[in-house]
Amino acid sequence: MLVSTPIQPLKPLKPLQPHIPEKLSAYDLTLEEWQSWLKENGQPSFRAGQIFDWLYVKRVGSFEEMSNLSKELRRKLDESFIFVSLTEIASQQSKDGTVKFLFELADKNAIETVVMKHSYGNSVCVTTQVGCRIGCTFCASTLGGLKRNLSAGEIVAQIVKAQQLLDATGERVSSIVIMGIGEPFENYDAMLKFLKLMIHEKGLNIGARHITVSTSGIVPNIHRFADENMQINLAISIHAPNDELRSKLMPVNRRYPFAELIEACKYYLHTTGRRITFEYALMGGVNDKAEHAQELAVVLKEMLPLVHVNLIPVNFVMERDFKRTERDDIFAFQRILEKHNIPATIRREQGSDIAAACGQLRAKHMESQVR
């Protein structure tokens, strides 16, 4: 039976207003929305498929290149939409092949996107918000607070940019993780539209089971996501085995307490029959002791066999005061979980030589802007 320290829940975070730019991005529209727009502008609906092909298959850089569209339609598209919504400010390449981009948006805000090379293919980590208000005490993403949500098109554009990079070597984006800056479930509608655009057979056609979305525990939207009945993978940033410690590390826990989060996870498992990955960032002397592993195992055993733990040695962030768990202690933590039949893996470190953890490159850029 789960025992948790009672914490008075706070009011839910006030919903953010969606970002509505002066012009939508070409990547903001679904195929059906393109069909509606074309109809409203006196064009046949089949042109939507042609536009989708130019955007996601040929991956052109302007409306002018869409040569099977009339000049008048290309002019109208150019007047009505922003084509390129991301401008590269900087990029860093790691010795392990990881590439981290810092992109500037149309309103001059900056976001990060990371391309990671694995033995099984290329994974892209995308950002869903400019900044973050969740306030996790070990994370660089929350430095500077939250500026705004991204539109679906601004999230899509990150994948297109990554794919254009891979086009040079004949490779493709094989998987997506929504684990960049921001809380995806606070930008739920844009995130969901992004997912539908990614898995569309006429678009990039990335398999739903090759996409993972991570949340810090926005309980109402875990329920909502379960009811979507999609094959997208879900990861929960848990980082502690109880209320008291999790509230210290993750202020969101005071709004959606640990017990509520666990019940939401059980609802997801019951509704979808799909596994949840629990992300656990190990911090030396904070949440990495044997008793923490034992307590976590007791909580998660209730959800076997649809449980997996991803142990993450915490990244060093200059503005934070956490240290990485010693290697032997990481393996000891893993062994305790596995003793209780909880599958646990240790995340392979990538891009440490280029500060590839969420928010670090953006934080450096923000610091340089105020000097």
> Residue 7: which pLDDT band, with cuts at 50, 70 and 90?
very low
Interval 68-102: pLDDT, tens: 999 999 999 999 999 877 999 999 998 888 999 99
List, in sequence order, every residue forming a beta bridge with 324; answer none if it has no partner: 283
Q: Which domains, ranges and CATH numbers included, belong to the chain?
A: 24-82 (1.10.150.530), 87-369 (3.20.20.70)
pTM value? Answer: 0.89
Q: Measured in whole angstroms, how far is the alpha carbon of residue 261 from the centre of its chain?
A: 19
Omega before 12 within 30 of 0, i.e. cis: no
Is residue 239 classed exposed, middle or buried when 0-12, 13-18 and 19+ CB atoms within 10 A define those classes? Answer: buried
The residues, any chain, with a CB within 8 Å of residue 347's CB and separated by 6 or more, are 310, 311, 312, 313
The 3-state secondary structure of 163-223 reads HHHHHCCCCCEEEEEECCCCCHHHCHHHHHHHHHHHHCCCCCCCCHHHEEEEECCCHHHHH
Is residue 262 over pLDDT 90?
yes
> Residue 58: which pLDDT band, with cuts at 50, 70 and 90?
very high
Active-site amino acid positions: 112, 358
d(CA 46, CA 53): 11
* Mean pLDDT value across the chain: 89
Tokens of 8: 């008075």
Q: Measured in whole angstroms, how far is the alpha carbon of residue 58 from the centre of its chain?
A: 25
Interval 263-315: pLDDT, tens: 999 999 999 999 999 999 999 999 999 999 999 999 999 999 999 999 999 87
Look at the alpha carbons of 35, 37, 43, 48 in this order and tell me if their dihedral is positive or negative: negative
